[in-house]
Amino acid sequence: MIVIQSTEQLTGVRISGDFWDLDELINAIYKITGDENKYYDYQGPRLRILSVCYKLRHAALGEHQLDFVNNGLNKNVLTQHELIFPNKNVYFATEILWPEIIFSAIALNDFIDLHQQLNDSSMWDYDIAIIRKFQAAIADCLEQEMNEEDYEVFLKMLHAKNPLTFRYATQYVDVLNLEYLQLDKEERKAHLAAFAVRFMIEDHDYAALKAQLMDAAITTKQPLHNIQIQLKYPEEILW
């Protein structure tokens, strides 16, 4: 199964699972988000989700981290079945920054709604169930890092806003990623809830950034999500 845990420095989350767990999740994400021409007003969020998917795919290829997880086999079982077999399975893992994974979890709600509307899919849709389980694991991890009151406020705002990421200026995710990286561990713990809520309220900083991006998009005749901003991530991230 997919396991999501906060990293040691609260920089982000560590997502791990066996090859088939990750492959199943990746395929479900691709199916739910559709091709690049399907949901034009959601292209920014779609590309953002696919950037997370890209890291998951490379993790599944063994290019990031490996974990060894007990598989439940013990000496009695091995003796009974006359097997020689390791008692641990290999899990593939990668890290995602907290603002990035929160935004991805939020944006997936919109794509689930769009997928259901376009395909008239059943409430038992298999791919949606996989995505919901992934979102639930992120939410559970987030809840552990927030106090109860802050988490309830975040959920209420999440449920009240619809759609969540229509024509969203996803460059703001980079802004929040870099702001969050500048904090120390204690500050991250204290302010993680505020970072989550900022995706809901579209505050003055977001509005100002989007206005600048819209002007650039009009001038260059490019889509909003293609406008680049001058931000630089550190070469190494202490997770």
- pLDDT tens, residue by residue, 2-38: 999 999 999 999 999 999 999 999 999 999 998 877 8
Residues 6 or more apart from 181 whose CB is under 8 A from it? 11, 97, 233, 234, 237
The SS3 of residue 125 is coil
Residue 40 has pLDDT above 90, yes or no: no
The stretch 32-47 carries a mean pLDDT of 90
Tokens of 181: 């990286």
Residue 213 has pLDDT above 70, yes or no: yes
> Please, what is the average pLDDT of the chain?
92
Residues 6 or more apart from 59 whose CB is under 8 A from it? 15, 16, 22, 65, 92, 93, 94
Residue 83 has pLDDT above 90, yes or no: no
pLDDT at residue 1, rounded to an integer: 86
- pLDDT tens, residue by residue, 97-130: 999 999 999 999 999 999 998 887 777 899 999 9
Greater model confidence, 67 or 167? 167
The DSSP code for 121 is -
In angstroms, the CA 69 to CA 13 distance is: 18
Q: pTM of the full predicted structure? A: 0.92
Q: Cα torsion for 228, 114, 198, 151, to the nearest 10°?
A: -150
